[in-house]
Every structure is written in C-alpha cells, then in structure tokens.
C-alpha cells in the first residue's frame, strides 16, 4: 500500500508535466487509486475534509488579495509611481533601475501577484530603460527579479496558501517574511549600484533638464499620489495584521477597499474596470480553489495509503539529518518550479513533506519562508523560469531570450546565496517576526 502511495504521487507529477489539467489530474487520479486500492468506507471521510477546506476562513484572503492586486494594476498607479521614483533617483547612475526595484517591491506589497507585476513592469519600464540607453541584460534582469518579489514580500498569495497547507498562522508568515523581502530589495539595489559604478554605460543617469522639467509641474502632488498613497495602503493592510487589529482575511478586505479607493483617486474607476477586475478575480480564485479541492483529495488518499508514514520511516531508516532532508526538499521544489506553477507545488509537494518536517521538529514558519524564497528563485531561473516567459511576452522584438537569460543570472545568484544564508542563520526571519508579533 505504501508503494502504491508513492506511485500515486509519481503518476500525478508525470501527468502534470505532460500537460494534463492540474486540478482534475490531482482529484481524478487520486479517486481512481482510491477506488482500486482502498476500502470504500474510507470515502466517507472525504466530504468533511472538502467542506473543511471550503469553510476555511483564512482562505477568504485569497480572492480579496487577488482583487486588490488586479484593481491596482488597472489604476495606472504603477506608471506614475515609476515615473516619480525615476526622477527622485534620476541623478544616480543606475537610478532608473533602482526605481524599478523599489516600485517592484511596492507593487509586490500591494498585489502579491507575480505575473501581473512582471507584465505591468515590463510594459511600463522596459521601453523606457532601453530608450535611456540601459543595457538590455540589466533592464530585463532587474524587471524580472523585481516582479517576483511578490512571492516573498507580504501580503503574498503564496504565503497565504503556504500558511493554509502547513497549518501555521498567516500573520506569523507575513511577519517572518518582511525582513527577508527587504533584504532582497537592498541586495538588488547594491548590485545595480556596483554594476553602474563599474560600467557607467550600462545604466546612465537621467538628463538634468528632464528632472528640472518634471519638478516644475506640481511635483509634491505627484509624489503624494504616486508614492504615499500606495504606501498608506500597504501600512493599512500589514499594520492592521501586525498590531492585532485585523486578521489576514480582514486585512485583505481592507486592501481590496483601499485599492478601489486608490483607483477612484486616479480617475480610472468605472463599471467597465470593476467588471473586468471582478471577472479576472473570479477566474483566478476559481482556479486556485479547484486545484485546492483536487489537492485535498490527493492528500487524503495519500495518507490513507500510509504514504506519509512510509516517507517518515524511509527518512528515519536512512539516518538523514534534518538539514540533509531539507536540502533534498529544497532541490526538488527548485527543479519543480521550472515546470509547474507555485500553486501546484504548494498543493502537491508541501502536504507530502510537511508531516516529515513536523516529525523532525523543524519550525514550519521557517520552512514556509524558505519555500517561498525557493519558489521565487525557481521563477527566475533559466531555462524555464515563469517570470522570464511573462517578460518575453511583452518585451520589444529586439529583446532576445539570450538577453533575458544573461540578465537574470546575477539576480539568481543573489537569490541562491540569500536562501543559503536563511538556512544557515534562521535568526534572519525571527528578528521581525518576534518584534512584530510581540508588539
């Protein structure tokens, strides 16, 4: 029976790689295995599991955060934010690239949706960077790396789903992820500054006359609308969680309302925009929950076949240390990220390994942050990084795949080094987590 459980896992993984729909593969193959190899009486326990998932209050945050991200994308705020930040850093070599990183971080904290952020940043900033003489590799690498910050910087849909699967507090995950996300932003900026210092021709500053012209026309008002309003939204969402005023689900509702108000303030809100946002939100939410129901069925059948107990016994018999097992899981997740989306990884791989981490006595919040960082890295890594595909789809014709690959490698190296540092020094996540949760 235990071997059948492993075969179930491998069957699903192989079929998904072949392109079969994830949700129906997860649920369908699991049901087939259950019908063939399990006692029919065990099926009586499945409906309560499914209803437990559907009534999970925490998961209400998913459609609300998705709505918030899509609404902000429609507001046009990213464009004005990038324009304003570029002028603020205009005199610095690499200032426009630094602006892209900061705007990417703010959009990540506002949306948490990687695809939307990468596409938005690609459409807005890539033509501008190329027009101003930026090296194509630096421009594409900066945009792709900044766009994936939504995987780790809270509020993140990835962290909400990981919290649900790992059965840990989403608020704790948000607090633990804050410092790693900010450190990554700083590391990206340091790399850009160093590269611009060594090769000034890769990242020229904005001409002085453009900066003067921009500042003449209601500069303070532009900065307020472009920078402080999104910042207020981020503070409202995260601050309400960290000070204990609201749960992550309630804070997501605050974010959805705030995004709508920001869109109204930009003069972009109308019934057509609202309808488009609601359709996209419904589509993405339905996809997530259908996959979740399939994953719930898979997890139920896998455990009924004693698959989790079998894996734990294998680890114990092999005398693998917790760190070696963690390294193996991180490697599997990293490679899987080349081929399948983060939602599938969270719902297929994480439920299988989570009981083993519990058995080994490893903090699941730390594991959640490591998995989010790992997924973010695999999203960037050639040749199959999803962010690279998103960016290539909106890039000008002169931008080749080789530009994308060469440009992203330094950022992938930064990511890998940082993941290793978080593994070696878990204190990195406990600093803000302990301070925010205690305060």
| pLDDT average, residue stretch 16-29 | 78
Pull the structure tokens for residue 295: 């994953």
| pLDDT score of 113 more than 70 | no
Residue of 366, 369, 387 lying closest to 378 (CA atoms): 387
320: three-class secondary structure by DSSP: coil
* Domain residue spans of the chain: 2-438
| pLDDT score of 435 more than 70 | no
- Give how far the C-alpha of residue 403 lies from the chain's centroid of Cα atoms, to the nearest Å: 23
Instruction: Provide the sign of the torsion angle of the four alpha carbons 242, 247, 249, 255, taken in this order.
Output: negative
| pLDDT score of 439 more than 70 | no
Cβ-contact 241, 64 below 8 angstroms:
no
Q: What percent of the chain has pLDDT over 90?
A: 9
Between CA 226 and CA 79 the distance in angstroms is 9
Between CA 147 and CA 104 the distance in angstroms is 6
Confidence of residue 413 (pLDDT cuts 50, 70, 90): very high
- Strand (E) or helix (H) holding 32: helix 22-37
Cβ-contact 256, 71 below 8 angstroms:
yes
The pLDDT value recorded for residue 85 is: 74
Peptide bond into 155 cis (omega under 30): yes
| pLDDT average, residue stretch 64-68 | 82
The pLDDT value recorded for residue 203 is: 85
Report in angstroms the alpha-carbon separations of 235 from 110, 221, 290: 10, 20, 32
Cβ-contact 61, 48 below 8 angstroms:
no
- Kindly report which listed range (168-177, 231-240, 288-297, 338-347) carries the lowest average pLDDT score: 338-347
Please, which residues have CB within 8 angstroms of residue 322's CB and are 6 or more apart in sequence?
A: 360, 361, 362
Report in angstroms the alpha-carbon separations of 129 from 87, 95, 147, 178: 13, 10, 16, 29
The more confidently predicted of residues 234 and 422 is 422
| pLDDT score of 269 more than 70 | yes
| pLDDT score of 341 more than 70 | no
Q: What angle do CA 87, 90, 95 make, to 5 degrees?
A: 115
Specify the pTM.
Answer: 0.77
User: 65-79, 94-108, 229-243, 357-371: which has the highest mean pLDDT?
Assistant: 357-371
The pLDDT value recorded for residue 95 is: 84
What are the tens digits of pLDDT across the range 134-166? 888 998 999 889 888 878 888 777 888 888 888
Between CA 345 and CA 333 the distance in angstroms is 7
Between CA 415 and CA 184 the distance in angstroms is 8
The pLDDT value recorded for residue 110 is: 63
């Amino acid at each position: 029976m235990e071997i059948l459980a492993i075969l179930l896992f491998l069957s699903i993984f192989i079929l998904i790689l072949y392109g079969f729909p994830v949700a129906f593969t997860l649920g369908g193959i699991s049901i087939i295995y259950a019908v063939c190899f399990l006692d029919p009486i065990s099926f009586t326990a499945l409906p309560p599991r499914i209803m437990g998932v559907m009534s999970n209050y925490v998961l209400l945050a998913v459609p609300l955060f998705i709505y918030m991200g899509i609404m902000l994308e429609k507001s046009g705020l990213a464009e004005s934010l990038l324009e304003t930040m570029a002028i603020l850093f205009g005199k610095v070599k690499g200032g426009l690239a630094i602006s892209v990183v900061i705007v990417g971080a703010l959009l990540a904290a506002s949306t948490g949706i990687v695809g939307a952020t990468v596409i938005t940043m690609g459409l807005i900033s890539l033509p501008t960077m190329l027009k101003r003489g930026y090296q194509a590799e630096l421009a594409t690498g900066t945009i792709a790396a900044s766009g994936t910050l939504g995987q780790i910087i809270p509020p993140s849909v990835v962290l909400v789903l990981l919290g649900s699967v790992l059965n840990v507090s989403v608020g704790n995950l948000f607090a633990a992820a804050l410092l790693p996300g900010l450190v990554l932003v700083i590391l990206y900026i340091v790399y850009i500054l160093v590269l611009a210092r060594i090769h000034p021709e890769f990242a020229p500053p904005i001409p002085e006359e453009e900066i003067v012209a921009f500042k003449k026309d209601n500069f303070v008002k532009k900065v307020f609308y472009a920078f402080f309003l999104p910042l207020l939204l981020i503070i409202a969402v995260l601050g309400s969680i960290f000070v204990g005023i609201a749960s992550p689900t309630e804070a997501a509702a605050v974010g959805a309302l705030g995004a709508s108000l920001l869109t109204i303030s930009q003069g972009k809100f109308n019934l057509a925009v609202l309808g488009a946002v609601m359709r996209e939100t419904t589509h993405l939410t339905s996809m997530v929950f259908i996959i979740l129901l399939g994953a719930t069925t898979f997890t139920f059948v896998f455990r009924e076949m004693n698959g989790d107990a079998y894996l734990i016994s294998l680890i114990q018999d092999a005398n693998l240390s917790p760190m070696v097992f963690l390294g193996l899981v991180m490697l599997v997740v990293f490679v899987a990220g080349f081929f399948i989306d983060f939602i599938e990884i969270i719902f297929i791989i994480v439920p299988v390994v989570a009981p083993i981490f519990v058995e080994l006595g490893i903090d699941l919040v730390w594991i959640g942050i490591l998995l989010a960082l790992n997924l973010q890295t695999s999203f960037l890594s050639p040749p199959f990084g999803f962010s690279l595909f998103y960016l290539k789809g909106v890039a000008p014709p002169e931008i080749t795949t080789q530009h994308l690959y060469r440009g992203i490698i330094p950022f992938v190296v930064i990511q890998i080094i940082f993941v290793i540092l978080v593994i070696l020094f878990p204190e990195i996540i406990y600093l803000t987590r302990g301070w925010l949760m205690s305060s």
